[in-house]
Structure 1
């Protein structure tokens, strides 16, 4: 029985993932009807709707009708989001109480198969543009936005449709409103009289299957209709130059280690080494990865880089080359490789093949 539930839950997870990462235009009538339904559950009149092309446009504009206190940077403090959080918490708490009495193992299975993978994909693909629209220091956890994550909606949808958990009429009414919003639009900001709603991105490039992350080697990974965009390299958000115009000079001037790594990978390690004129300090067969070499290069006076080959095959069938920064006193590639694992060179030489 659990195998059947697991397969059906995985299929439902993929359905919700496609919806979460959709680049189709929003279904504005459906979104407005569902959001209005939540307002009515709070005893409020439906709001006036203000549609924007992207999250950054939502933060950059102040539509008529928003109160002075309704600064989108402080959306979690608005009255309506606070009341909606309470409404959603009550819904989930009552359903969870029933599950604890009847189907706790099934709940845990579906969280593992549905909620957690979706949460990871949302965190990697949809939060970077949102965080950039606010600011890098903006706290997205514990905020209004968590109510809009498709992960919790998919979890309860799977409990209902796959595990056969019965919802009361009241529970189903509210749940269907949250689900309808998730199916029909992007992020939204509910003021007392005006609700700001964003269109979806017009392009969203990802890689991976269950663990999805943003990646595009030739342009923005996420792009909205107003031109606002975010670049990413294998899941790491990077400045546009890393993808569109990486140069040795820019890499040398970049303070962020992860951004430098991505830019070097974008150029290719072989090309970077040649263009940067890095001096080879030493090379040795990698004992934990037969058929491949460890190569140690000078980078700066106090730094060297150990170039290695991944022990496992990437999604495209190739083995990725990667560089590890090590102290400049290393001249033996084996000793440098051991240091990255907290081992001596001799201990590293006795490791089994890496995977």
Structure 2
């Protein structure tokens, strides 16, 4: 890299460091539990309707996404083409998605030509991080209300703040947009920052309030925010709809409020069962469930810690281990892995979970 290129890269980096707080500003908007700014939201959505040549809609406000997805606004007839599980295929959502695609296609070449290095930093520090946080704090809880087994609908990505924050950060860091590009970006930014999700129809737009409770934790090296609350709902709306979550995994309320060995035994979902055991604590669960110890051994993949093998049920055993990586709070997470009942050697069982033999696992420097 030439001296001039190095100086330009350093200048871009310095410029971005001065604007990096924008990611936190947008994250604060995503996680806000304040009442929606209804006048601002309605004005912005009205402007977005204008972009696709439609008159202002009638606005129907609801207290939660669950209400929006399970009830129809007064005076509106049900239409098979507007089933909630196919929201990305609604006539208007497809038109709005085309508007966003066109805006991004206009902005990207301009940005990449003039601010390539800056765009890369912002994409990593703002776009990707906010997308993951938005997915955990909003999209997955909304899907849990009506379509937990469906792919993430594109419409929720269209109205999400992460792509808006990306271009907003570029603009504040020096990227120049046309007046029309800036106007469109401002409309999407105001809508994303003023209310909960919204569902557009020809004459009426259903808009959700924000949650009244949103409890999260920061996880991972990139600072992803995910829903988590150890003693109550992680998400709650004014109409009483609640979502419980354990370290980002959505779980039934009993996992948080009343976990028990009996309920864990009846639970078929492996992830829910794991969360319930972690909620109780592995030591307490082992004692209450009366799990019989089979064997223990020093963990060659995690020096200073032990692997412990217990009888579980139905010809299976559980391997209790300690995470090789330190959590953000400085602790090491304990976790259990189910293994076939024929294992008697904890090291062989640990190797099996990695697809390795006992000898191969013993040669690991440190697992994660």
Find the partner of 1:56 among 57, 66, 74: 66
- Structure-1 separation of matches of 2:132 and 2:19: 16
Q: Please, what TM-score do these two structures have when normalized by structure 2? A: 0.91
Is 1:66–1:191's contact at 8 Å kept on the other side of the alignment? Answer: no
Matching residue of 1:228? 241
Q: Structure 1 residue 65: deviation in Å?
A: 4.4
Q: Structure 1 residue 129: deviation in Å?
A: 1.6
Find the partner of 2:338 among 322, 325, 328: 325
Q: Structure 1 residue 6: deviation in Å?
A: 4.1
Deviates more, 1:106-115 or 1:185-194: 106-115
CA displacement, residues 122-175 of structure 1 (integer Å, 9 cap, x when unaligned)? 11121122101222233324x22211111100011011112x111101111111
Find the partner of 1:196 among 186, 206, 219: 206
- Structure-2 separation of matches of 1:65 and 1:80: 19
Q: Please, what TM-score do these two structures have when normalized by structure 1? A: 0.95
Confirm whether residue 140 of structure 1 aligns to residue 152 of structure 2: yes
CA displacement, residues 233-287 of structure 1 (integer Å, 9 cap, x when unaligned)? 0111111111111111111111111111100000000010011110100011122
Find the partner of 1:290 among 277, 287, 303: 303
Is 2:212–2:238's contact at 8 Å kept on the other side of the alignment? Answer: yes
- Structure-2 separation of matches of 1:115 and 1:134: 27
- Structure-2 separation of matches of 1:44 and 1:194: 11
Matching residue of 1:344? 357
- Structure-2 separation of matches of 1:192 and 1:5: 43
Matching residue of 2:5? none
Q: For structure 2, which runs of at least 5 residues remain unmatched after alignment?
A: 1-10
- Structure-2 separation of matches of 1:286 and 1:73: 47
- Structure-2 separation of matches of 1:339 and 1:193: 58
Write out aligned runs for 1:135-214 (5 A): 135-141=147-153, 143-162=154-173, 164-208=174-218, 210-214=223-227
Q: Structure 1 residue 190: deviation in Å?
A: 1.2
Is 2:85–2:147's contact at 8 Å kept on the other side of the alignment? Answer: no
Matching residue of 1:257? 270
Is 1:9–1:110's contact at 8 Å kept on the other side of the alignment? Answer: no
Runs ≥4 residues deviating over 6 A: none
Change (3 A) 1:72 1:309: closer
- Structure-1 separation of matches of 2:215 and 2:28: 12
- Structure-2 separation of matches of 1:182 and 1:101: 28
Q: Secondary structure at the match of 1:212?
A: strand
Find the partner of 2:110 among 74, 98, 109: 98
Q: CA RMSD in A?
A: 1.6
Q: Structure 1 residue 288: deviation in Å?
A: 2.6
Write out aligned runs for 1:59-74 (5 A): 59-69=69-79, 70-74=82-86
Confirm whether residue 112 of structure 1 aligns to residue 124 of structure 2: yes
- Structure-1 separation of matches of 2:85 and 2:297: 53
Q: Structure 1 residue 67: deviation in Å?
A: 4.8
Aligned residues: 353
- Structure-1 separation of matches of 2:132 and 2:195: 20
- Structure-2 separation of matches of 1:334 and 1:5: 51
Q: Secondary structure at the match of 1:16?
A: helix
Find the partner of 1:280 among 293, 302, 314: 293
